[in-house]
Amino acid sequence: MIQVEHLFKHYPDKVALDDINLTFPAEQTIAIVGPSGSGKSTLLRSLNLLERPDQGKLQIDDLTLDLSQPITTSQILQIRQKTAMVFQEKALFTHLTVMRNLTEGPIKVQKKNKQEAEAKASELLEQFGMSELADRYPYQLSGGQQQRVAILRALAMSPKYLLLDEPTSALDPELEAQVLRVLKDLAKKDTSMVVVTHNMAFAEQVADQIVFIDDGKVGYNGATETFFHSDSERIQQFLGAMSF
Amino acid sequence: MIDFFNLAVKYLPELFMTALKYTLPLTAIAFFFGIILASITAIIRVAKLPQNEWAAAALQLLKWLAAAYVWFFRSTPLLVQLFIVFYGLPNAHIALFQSAWVSAITVFSLNTGAYASETIRASIASVPEVQKQAAESLGMTSAQVYWNVVLPQAARISIPPLSNSLISLLKDTSLASVITIVEIFYLAQQIAAANYKVLSMYILVAMVYAFFTSILAIAQHYLEKYTSRFAQ
């Protein structure tokens, strides 16, 4: 379980996170939605400390951090070993093949030996039907393939929680569908996921829980079904703005 | 023409031997230390200030030193730097470097380091931020991010400009002649003074420089080709 309490993040010109209190249960898929600039990504990036909130408590399983105190590098690394992140933009290591992208973390961070890391990577590639991509470099892949490899790179770390920051927003609809199918598969297997998304159809189909972030605050936190049939004027306005 | 050909046959072996004994080692050693110095300087200049106040103050001081170093060596002529170190300092009884070799290596290394640090700084900055974040999110330490993700990509980008620095350095070693090092240009001057074949001797020595710099340019080409396997 990931839990945040009284999370605040101030930028010089705005409050990005304004007293956020949330629990992300394990083995569930939680979709974070909300308007652009509402603080969704900042919240997600706070969960693995890529963003450093000014105040609040972050708890991942048995590890609790008071974010208003100085945090040591080893605490940050501990948090990051429990989580893995997939980014919005192309974030594969461009100088490494797909296989090396998948084994770099396990070898360099988890100190696994090469055979073990490669066996696990091959297994993942096989499982998601991408074995033939193993020796290619990122520039030789389509955007959708790159993003699916990025998901596998995260999974290769065997993280407890998978964090995804708008993983499909840079893709064409067709390529987006490929990636969303992978995420749907993962959700069915009870992978613990927190995904920031603009794709409401995906959120409605796949998420067990919706968190609606509006202007740095939690505007809704609860069941998916209830969110999409909410009476709240603000939520209806948001959902209305997403369709045309 | 036949005269020039005879001179070439007579003096080229000696010029080549001298290049192998002086010009090339001077270039190689100075470039080696220059790149180390450049890397350290560049990393200091791009490093983010840590949260700890004392560490931040120390790093800020290093950043100023690094900036001052780059400023000094880029804003003064190499020839003047050589004169200051080899003739100037001993004259003021600061006998840091009695040896012409040590003086030459020091000045060439510092000079190359200043220029190359800017190249390396730009190359590091050109690696996309999101790849660094991806590496961090995998749990890599800052050092691991630099070593495994930033440096391999920065190295590829810096090959053409660093090759420029290396080629310039090889030619600039001719300036070592003014601090008594008998490298090929000095040798060519001595021979020309004795046989009066001034134009021919200088053309010959120019050809020797061109020969070695061309080899470097060819090496650069293949290095670029090899390291471009992961880019379009």
B60-111 pLDDT, tens digit per residue, is 999 999 999 999 999 999 999 999 999 988 888 776 667 899 999 999 999 9
Q: What is the phi/psi pair of residue A211, to 5°?
A: -115, 120
Angle of CA points A58, A62, A63, to nearest 5°: 40
A195 bridge partner residues: A31, A164
- The beta-carbon neighbor of B149 closest among A93, A137, A139 is A93
Neighbouring C-alpha atoms within 13 Å toward the C-beta of A196: 24
As a whole-number percent, the residues of chain A with pLDDT over 70 amount to 100
Among A159, A181, A170, which Cα is nearest to A47's? A159
Calculate how close chain A gets to B161, using CA atoms only, in Å. Answer: 19
Model confidence at B1, pLDDT cuts 50, 70, 90, reads confident
Which residues from chain B sit within 8 angstroms of residue A90, using beta carbons?
Answer: 128, 130
d(CA A183, CA A222): 20
Please say if the pLDDT value at position B6 is more than 90: no
In 3-state terms chain B splits into helix, strand, coil percentages (rounded to 5) of 85, 0, 15
pLDDT value of residue A156: 95
User: Rg of chain B over CA atoms, in angstroms?
Assistant: 21
- The beta-carbon neighbor of B137 closest among A85, A90, A96 is A85
pLDDT value of residue B96: 67
Q: Decide if A140 touches B, using CB distance below 8 A.
A: no
pLDDT value of residue A228: 93
- Strand order of the β-sheet with A63-66 is A15-24, A2-10, A55-60, A63-66
- The beta-carbon neighbor of A95 closest among B133, B138, B153 is B153
Residues B112-150 have pLDDT tens digits of 999 999 999 999 999 999 999 999 999 999 899 999 999
Three-state secondary structure call for residue B161: helix
pTM of the model as a whole = 0.83
d(CA A17, CA A164): 18
Domain B2-230 has CATH 3.40.50.300: no
Three-state secondary structure call for residue B90: helix
Dihedral sign, Cα of residue B114, residue B119, residue B120, residue B125: positive
Calculate how close chain B gets to A244, using CA atoms only, in Å. Answer: 32
Per-residue confidence of chain A (244 residues) as pLDDT tens digits?
Answer: 999 999 999 988 889 999 999 999 999 999 999 998 899 999 999 999 999 999 999 999 999 999 998 888 899 999 999 999 999 888 999 999 999 999 999 999 999 999 999 999 999 999 989 999 999 999 999 988 999 999 999 999 999 999 999 998 888 888 888 889 989 989 988 889 999 999 999 999 999 999 999 999 999 999 999 999 998 999 999 998 877 7
Q: Looking at per-residue confidence, does A173 or B33 come out higher?
A: B33
Calculate how close chain A gets to B43, using CA atoms only, in Å. Answer: 19
pLDDT value of residue B232: 57
Among A79, A50, A60, A56, which Cα is nearest to A68's? A56
Are the Cβ atoms of A139 and B137 closer than 8 angstroms? no
How does the average pLDDT of chain B come out, rounded?
92
pLDDT value of residue B132: 95
Calculate how close chain B gets to A228, using CA atoms only, in Å. Answer: 32
Angle of CA points A132, A136, A139, to nearest 5°: 130
| B156 close to B227: Cβ distance less than 8 angstroms | yes
| Mutation for testing the A interface, residue in B52, B137, B159 having most A CBs under 10 Å | B137
Residues B162-197 have pLDDT tens digits of 999 999 999 999 999 999 898 999 999 999 999 988
Domains and CATH numbers, chain A: 2-242 (3.40.50.300)
pLDDT value of residue A21: 94
